[in-house]
């Protein structure tokens, strides 16, 4: 019997790998298989048994004999994870300052990690039946216009790594470019795999249906967080074994195992959902670019409003800029965007007379209107006029939001819920007033103003049940809705054929946000929601689609750029500002956050962290309370570190974090590289 040692990565915060003993046995004269790098292994850890990833198979170990434990079982039924996949996880681990095990293991389907093989066996069996996933009625591909054709040719025209920014207004046919580039690559090699990342799959089943219809013979895997574990395993295995040729997924699909990956597409690359906001705070978009370089394959980042990082990348020549200037459907033109000055036209119930008249006109023509209000609930706060009481959350620095339908006050940050009080808790006044308006209140007002119209609301509250979002969008597509009111959920990727009026009811708040990225996001959101209008061919009567924006600041440069559909000038101005203020993408940042029962405890911790390691090439700012200081009875503060050099920041943070870890402080802290919400 021969003894070897397995070096294993485990999903623990300890920044190390662990060695286990493995005894090679014989059964009936046949040697048991030797474990391989990239296989999963069940090991004892403390009093538990957990699954780890084999990083190395060794003949000796430095771990003393009395500390060594035996590994329990090796998963031989799954092909080992490839060295390039492990390298991807290692890169993410190093870059985001987490142990490898905390990156690699959580990215695998849960059912792969249970010690029982039942579900795996079932999944492997099901794999044989997977072609059923692929049935769809084939549709022909449209003939590309010359800009689209040029883009496809550039993307597939060269071997090796190249990053492309596909920049084109909504409806300019970016999706078509993705699909035909994918088709070319799939045709070039019989086993190529394509990864397509989207911000949200549940909200845009159209996209998936489209891919299926275009590639009816191929296996498609989808990967997103809403999947049942069994299903997730099936799709993951199909990708891992190379069976599925196309993988469509949200950010988590970036860490899927794809042995024959030949093209990566990141649709709506500017979307904030590509950034994970807890645990491993990675950017799937950034990892996509790294992965493409690692594998020497093309990557396409597509958007009508690219992130400033990507735009800067294209301007500086790191990315190739591919531009689509016009809407792809003949005669479909961009909607006219107009500003309604709220200082001059007084709204009632949040709607100006001009907007009401515009909705009325669309109703008369049996066309749809979409009203965008990025605030769910009935009213953001309930107040007492008599004594000044307002509905604050006692656990957070936030108001409790009034949800009228189910008679609740609800905190959108910690989830606290209360019944709506009958009278003021401090003075007993029974006449409590909702202040401001959310989508529920707008829905109520619209129903009152347009009693003959079918008003419909789509937001996180109205679509809480699984499948209800898809059903809701189906209603709009089917023309069963005249006026749609919704949050940014309605801005995403939908192609509503009867929609000719889009209005932003109250977008101003983001103009003056503390978060310097707020205006970049607002512009993208408004362009995207505006892009829902006029996607079909324009009617002969010259009745163009229109977009109305209600604002108190009609002269704000953001609205001017919006009216001119001019992302370029908007981005150029913002980049100038960022450069002058030494902000990203001209500066690299890391953000240390701390939380404690008392704000001072968190601040003290950050103060110590700031002082412990002075460094000439780092700007270490003062610790400050976070804008939303208190959430769920914890006070939160942050410390921003900046450097003009990314490698310098990386090198510094690595030693710095090791130092902080050694403190064993009871303050809960976390580090984010390239933070987006500051
Ligand atoms: P984007 O992704 O840029 O918003 P899409 O790819 O969804 O745009 O295209 C918008 C519409 O134009 C879709 O209905 C699509 O089928 C159509 N389309 C795209 N390319 C062409 C083309 N070359 N000829 C005709 N129609 C096209
Ligand atoms: Zn009162
Ligand atoms: Zn709260």
Residues 290 and 249 reside in one and the same domain: yes
Residues 596 and 562 reside in one and the same domain: no
Residues 606 and 552 reside in one and the same domain: no
Mean pLDDT of 364-385: 95
What residues pack around ion ligand 2 (CB closer than 5 A)? 384, 386-387, 389, 424, 426-427, 429
Residues 553 and 605 reside in one and the same domain: no
CA-to-CA distance for 527 and 536, rounded, in angstroms?
Answer: 17
Judged by DSSP in three states, 530 sits in helix
Q: Is 545 in the pocket of ligand 1 (CB under 6 A)?
A: no
Task: Write the pLDDT tens digit of every residue in 401-453.
Answer: 999 988 999 999 999 999 999 999 999 999 999 999 999 999 999 999 999 99
Residues 291 and 341 reside in one and the same domain: no
Q: Is the pLDDT of residue 132 over 80?
A: no
Residue 72's beta-bridge partner residues?
Answer: none
Share above pLDDT 70 across residues of the chain, in percent, rounded to a whole number = 95
Residues 185 and 304 reside in one and the same domain: yes
Residues 78 and 174 reside in one and the same domain: no
Residues 151 and 276 reside in one and the same domain: yes
How many CB atoms neighbour CB 348 within 10 A? 10
Q: Is the pLDDT of residue 30 over 90?
A: no
Task: Report the pLDDT value the prediction gives residue 513, as an integer from 0 to 100.
Answer: 85
CA-to-CA distance for 116 and 101, rounded, in angstroms?
Answer: 21
Q: Is residue 210 part of a domain?
A: yes
Mean pLDDT of 451-478: 91
Share above pLDDT 90 across residues of the chain, in percent, rounded to a whole number = 74
Q: Is residue 416 part of a domain?
A: no
Task: Report the pLDDT value the prediction gives residue 388, as an integer from 0 to 100.
Answer: 96
Ligand nearest to C-alpha 424: 2
Residue 407 backbone class (left: φ over 0; alpha: ψ -120 to 50; beta: rest): left
CB 6 within 8 A of CB 35: yes
Q: 489: domain range? A: 336-376+438-576
Residues 158 and 45 reside in one and the same domain: no
CB 358 within 8 A of CB 376: no
The rounded Å distance from CA 440 to ligand 2 centre is 25
Task: Report the pLDDT value the prediction gives residue 467, as an integer from 0 to 100.
Answer: 80
Smallest CA-to-CA distance from 557 within 520, 595, 602 is with: 520
CA-to-CA distance for 96 and 107, rounded, in angstroms?
Answer: 15
Task: Report the pLDDT value the prediction gives residue 135, as an integer from 0 to 100.
Answer: 57
Mean pLDDT of 236-240: 95
Q: Is residue 139 part of a domain?
A: no
Could you tell me the pLDDT band of residue 131, with boundaries at 50, 70 and 90?
Answer: low
What CATH number is attached to the domain comprising 668? Answer: 3.30.70.600
The DSSP annotation for 336-373 comes to EEEEEETTTS--BTTB-HHHHHHHHHHHHTT-EEEEE-
Task: Write the pLDDT tens digit of every residue in 617-639.
Answer: 899 999 999 999 999 999 999 99
Could you tell me the pLDDT band of residue 598, with boundaries at 50, 70 and 90?
Answer: very high
Q: Is the pLDDT of residue 23 over 70?
A: yes
Residue 317 backbone class (left: φ over 0; alpha: ψ -120 to 50; beta: rest): left
Scored b (16 or more CB within 10 A) or e, 381-408 reads bbbbeeeebebebebbbbbbbbbbeeeb
Give the total number of structural domains in the chain.
Answer: 4
Q: What is the pLDDT of the chain when averaged over all its residues?
A: 91
Ligand nearest to C-alpha 167: 1
Mean pLDDT of 383-391: 96
The DSSP annotation for 34-91 comes to PP-TT-EEEEEETTEEEEEEEEEEES--SS-GGG--B--EE-TTSPPPPHHHHHHHHH
Residues 344 and 277 reside in one and the same domain: no
Q: Is residue 217 part of a domain?
A: yes
Pairing mode of beta strands 336-341, 320-324: unpaired
Task: Write the pLDDT tens digit of every residue in 206-215.
Answer: 788 888 889 9
Q: Is the pLDDT of residue 49 over 70?
A: yes
CB 248 within 8 A of CB 196: yes
For 470, half-sphere exposure in the C-beta direction (CA atoms, 13 angstrom radius) is: 11
Task: Write the pLDDT tens digit of every residue in 197-208.
Answer: 999 887 777 788
Residues 613 and 571 reside in one and the same domain: no
Residue 420's beta-bridge partner residues?
Answer: none
What CATH number is attached to the domain comprising 27? Answer: 3.40.1440
Could you tell me the pLDDT band of residue 536, with boundaries at 50, 70 and 90?
Answer: low
Mean pLDDT of 143-157: 96
Which residue among 198, 265, 305, 329 has the greatest number of ligand 1 atoms within 8 angstroms of its CB, and so is best to mutate? 329
Q: Is residue 180 part of a domain?
A: yes
Residues 603 and 547 reside in one and the same domain: no
């Amino acid at each position: 019997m021969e003894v070897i040692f397995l070096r294993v990565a485990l999903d623990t915060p300890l920044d190390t790998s662990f060695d286990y003993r493995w005894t090679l046995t014989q059964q009936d004269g046949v040697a048991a298989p030797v474990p391989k790098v990239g296989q999963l292994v069940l090991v004892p850890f403390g009093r538990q048994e957990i699954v780890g990833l084999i990083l190395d198979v060794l003949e000796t170990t430095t771990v003393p004999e009395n500390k060594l434990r035996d590994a329990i079982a090796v998963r031989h039924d799954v092909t080992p994870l490839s060295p390039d996949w492990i390298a991807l996880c290692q890169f993410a681990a190093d870059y985001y300052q987490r142990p490898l095990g905390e990156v690699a293991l959580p990215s695998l389907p849960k059912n792969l990690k249970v010690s029982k093989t039942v579900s795996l066996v079932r999944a492997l069996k099901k794999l044989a039946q997977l072609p059923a996933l692929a049935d769809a009625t084939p549709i022909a591909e449209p003939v590309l216009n010359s800009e689209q054709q040029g883009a496809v040719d550039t993307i597939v025209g060269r071997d090796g790594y190249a990053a492309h920014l596909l920049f084109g207004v909504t409806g300019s046919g970016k999706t078509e470019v993705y699909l035909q580039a994918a088709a070319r690559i799939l045709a070039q090699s019989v086993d190529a795999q394509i990864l397509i990342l989207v911000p949200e799959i549940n909200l845009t089943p159209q996209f998936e249906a489209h891919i299926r219809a275009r590639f009816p013979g191929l296996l498609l895997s989808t990967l997103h967080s809403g999947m049942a574990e069994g299903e997730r395993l099936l799709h993951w295995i199909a990708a891992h074994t190379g069976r599925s040729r196309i993988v469509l997924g949200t950010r988590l699909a970036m860490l899927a195992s794809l042995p024959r990956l030949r093209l990566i597409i990141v649709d709506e690359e500017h979307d904030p959902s590509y950034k994970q906001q807890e645990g491993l705070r990675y950017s799937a978009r950034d990892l996509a670019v790294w992965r493409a370089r690692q594998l020497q394959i093309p990557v396409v980042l597509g958007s009508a409003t690219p992130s400033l990082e990507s735009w800067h990348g294209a301007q500086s020549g790191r990315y190739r800029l591919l531009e689509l200037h016009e809407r792809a459907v003949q005669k479909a033109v961009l909607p006219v965007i107009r500003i309604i000055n709220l200082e001059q036209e007084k709204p009632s119930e949040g709607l100006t007379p001009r907007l009401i008249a515009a909705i009325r006109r669309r109703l008369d023509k049996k066309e749809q209107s979409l009203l965008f209000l990025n605030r769910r609930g009935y009213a953001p706060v309930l107040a007492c006029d008599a004594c000044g009481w307002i509905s604050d959350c006692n656990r957070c620095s936030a108001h409790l939001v009034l949800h009228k339908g189910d008679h609740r006050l609800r905190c959108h940050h910690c989830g606290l819920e209360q019944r709506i009080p009958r009278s003021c808790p401090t003075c007993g006044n029974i006449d409590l007033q909702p202040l401001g308006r959310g989508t529920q209140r707008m829905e109520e007002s619209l129903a009152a103003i347009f009693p003959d119209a079918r008003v419909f609301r789509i937001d996180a509250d109205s679509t809480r049940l699984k499948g209800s979002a898809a059903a809701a969008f189906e209603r709009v597509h089917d023309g069963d809705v005249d006026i749609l009111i919704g949050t940014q959920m309605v801005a995403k990727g939908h192609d509503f054929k009867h929609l000719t009026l889009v209005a932003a009811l109250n977008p101003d708040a983001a103009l003056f946000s503390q978060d310097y990225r707020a205006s970049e996001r607002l512009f993208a959101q408004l362009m995207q929601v505006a892009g829902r209008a006029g996607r079909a061919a324009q009617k002969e009567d010259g009745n163009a689609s229109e977009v109305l924006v209600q604002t108190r600041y009609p002269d704000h440069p953001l609205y001017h750029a919006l009216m001119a559909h001019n992302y370029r000038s908007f981005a150029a101005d913002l980049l100038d500002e960022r450069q002058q203020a030494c902000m990203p993408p001209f500066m690299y940042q890391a953000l240390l956050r701390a939380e404690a029962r008392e704000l001072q405890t968190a601040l003290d911790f950050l103060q110590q962290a700031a002082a412990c390691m002075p460094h000439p090439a780092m700007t270490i700012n003062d610790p400050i309370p976070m804008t939303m200081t208190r959430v769920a009875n914890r006070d939160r503060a942050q410390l921003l570190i900046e450097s003009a050099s990314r490698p310098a920041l990386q090198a510094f943070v690595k030693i710095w974090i090791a130092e902080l870890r050694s403190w064993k402080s009871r303050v809960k802290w976390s580090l984010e590289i390239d933070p987006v919400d500051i």
